[in-house]
Chains A and B, each alone.
Chain A
C-alpha cells in the first residue's frame, strides 16, 4: 500500500512537470528544452539534502536506506545503451508509464518495448552473466571515492547543480 501511494505521488510529479511528453524529453538532447535536466537535478539535490539533514537530526537512519550497488563496467555500458534507447524512445521507463497513462500511444509502445528488452536480456542472461557481475564495488559512494566528508561531496554536487541551472537559464 505504501508502495502504491508513493507511486501515485511519483507519477503525479512526473506528469505535472510535463515529462509524459516525449518531444519535451527529447528536446533535452537538442538543447531546446531543459526540463529533464532541471527536474532530475532538482529532485536529486532535494532528496540528497533532505536525507542528509534528516539523518543529522536523527529522523532518518542512513544505514537503513538501501544504496544501489556499484558495478562499474556494466553500469557504464548499460548506461550508454540506455541513453541511446532513451533518445529513440523520448521517454524513460518511469515517464513512459506517465505517457501511456495520459493517453499517449508512444508511451504504451515504449512500455511494450521495455518488456521485450528485459525479457530478451533475461533469457540470454547466461551470455552476459560474467560481465554483469564484474567490477563490483559494493555500496560505494562519492565521498569514499573522493576521500572527502559526506557534507563536502554534497556541497560539491549542489554547486555543480546551481552552476548548471545558471548555464541553461542563460541559454534560454
Chain B
C-alpha cells in the first residue's frame, strides 16, 4: 500500500483538472447534481424536471467512481473496509454515514450544489454564493464538531 500524495501536489493536480474542464467544456466539476439527474430517470415531476435533459454530471460521476477505483487499484489501496472512529461500532458508523449523506443531500439541493460544483468550481470563478456556501459549511462543521466528537475521536 503506497502512501498518499502530498496534499499540495494533489490539490494542484485537481485544480488543473478543473481548469481543463473550464477550457474543454465551459463548465466545472460537480457531484450532487448527478443524484438529481439519476432520480430524474424515475420522476420528472416538479423539482426534478430541471435534470431531465442533462446527463453530463452522471457521466462525470461515473468517471469519478472509475478514477477513484483505478487510483486505489494502482496504489494497492483497494480493500473492503469501513472507516470509523475508535468509539463507534461498524453498524453505527454505517447508520451515521447514511444520515450524514441525507443531510448533505438536503443542503446541496438548497444551495444548488456541493463541495465540487459550488465550492470548488465557483470558488475558482470567484462566485460570491460559492464562497458564502464554503464558509457556512466549514463554520457549521467546526461548530458541530465538539458535539460529534464521539463519532471520530
Contacts and interface: CB of A to CB of B under 8 A. Distances in A.
Interface in B107-135: 107-135
Given A44-B123, A64-B26, A85-B107, A98 B68 contact: yes
Nearest to B101: A113
A23 B152 contact: yes
B26 A39 contact: no
A44 B36 contact: no
Task: For chain A, give the interface size range.
Answer: 35 or more
A13 B81 contact: no
A8 to B, nearest CB: 4
Interface in B38-60: 38-39, 46-48, 56-57, 59-60
Interface string A8-37: 111111111110111100111110001100
B133 to A, nearest CB: 4
Interface in B83-122: 83-85, 90, 93-122
Contact of A115 (B35, B57, B66, B121): B35
B115 A92 contact: yes
Nearest to A93: B31
A75 B128 CA distance: 10
Interface in B4-34: 4-5, 7-8, 10-29, 31-32
Contacts of B131: 142
Interface in B126-153: 126-142, 144-145, 148-149, 151-153
A7 B102 contact: no
A10 B67 contact: yes
Listed residue (B64, B79, B96, B122) with the most chain A CB atoms within 10 angstroms of its CB: B64
A110 B103 contact: no
B142 A29 contact: yes
A142 B64 contact: no
Contacts of A44: 15, 120, 123-124
B68 A101 contact: yes
B112 A3 contact: no
Listed residue (A48, A50, A75, A145) with the most chain B CB atoms within 10 angstroms of its CB: A75
A78 B68 contact: no
A11 B119 CA distance: 17
Contact of B15 (A43, A69, A80, A117): A43
Listed residue (B71, B104, B117) with the most chain A CB atoms within 10 angstroms of its CB: B104
23 contacts: A2-B24, A3-B60, A8-B67, A16-B75, A35-B7, A44-B123, A45-B15, A46-B18, A47-B16, A66-B28, A82-B107, A83-B137, A85-B103, A85-B106, A86-B141, A92-B115, A94-B115, A97-B65, A105-B80, A113-B104, A117-B103, A122-B48, A142-B126
Interface of A: 1-18, 20-23, 26-30, 34-35, 38-48, 50-51, 54, 59-60, 64-72, 74-107, 109-123, 125-126, 128, 131-132, 137, 139-145, 150, 153-154, 157, 165
What 7 A-B pairs are tightest by C-beta distance, nearest first? A117-B105, A7-B63, A113-B101, A46-B15, A42-B11, A78-B111, A11-B67
